[in-house]
Structures are given as C-alpha cells and as structure tokens.
Amino acid sequence: MNERIVCEASPRIAAAELRVSAILYQAICTALLWAERVRQRRHLARLDARLLDDIGLTATEAETEIDKPFWRA
C-alpha cells in the first residue's frame, strides 16, 4: 500500500517542502514554455512569404519574432 507520510512534528519542514515543490513546479513550467517558444519560432522560420501573408505577418515581423531569445515573449 502507498501511504503518504505526513510530517506533523515540524510544520516548518512541511512548509519548506511545499516551497521547494512550488519552485520546482514553476521551473519545469518555465522550461516547457521556453521549449515551446523555440519550437514555434523554428516553425515560423520555415514559412515562406505566401504562408506568412496567410497568417498576417510580413517577413520583417517574422524576422523580429524569430530573432527574439527564447526567454522573451
């Protein structure tokens, strides 16, 4: 059986574990967001002028987006 062990003796330890979990969760979410931006910008870089026009972007606008570092929205 999988029983969860709860540390009732020290609320500080439990609170610290929650903070670490929250920080780890946020770091994973951020890494996934950055990976998705890289994927989308690589895909955007492969579009020709006709497809860029279809999505309402000029080549200059596309280049501006493609040139952004992954951490910038």
pLDDT digits (tens, 9 = 90+) for 29-73: 999 999 999 999 999 999 999 999 999 999 999 999 999 999 999
pLDDT for res 2? 56
3-state secondary structure of 47: coil
DSSP H helical ranges for 4-69: 11-45, 49-54, 59-66
CA distance linking residue 6 with residue 53, whole number of Å: 57
pLDDT for res 66? 98
Q: How confident is the model at residue 8 (pLDDT cuts 50, 70, 90)?
A: low
* Averaged pLDDT for residues 12-40: 89
Q: Can you give the pTM of this predicted structure?
A: 0.73
∠ CA 4-6-11, nearest 5°, is: 155
pLDDT for res 19? 86
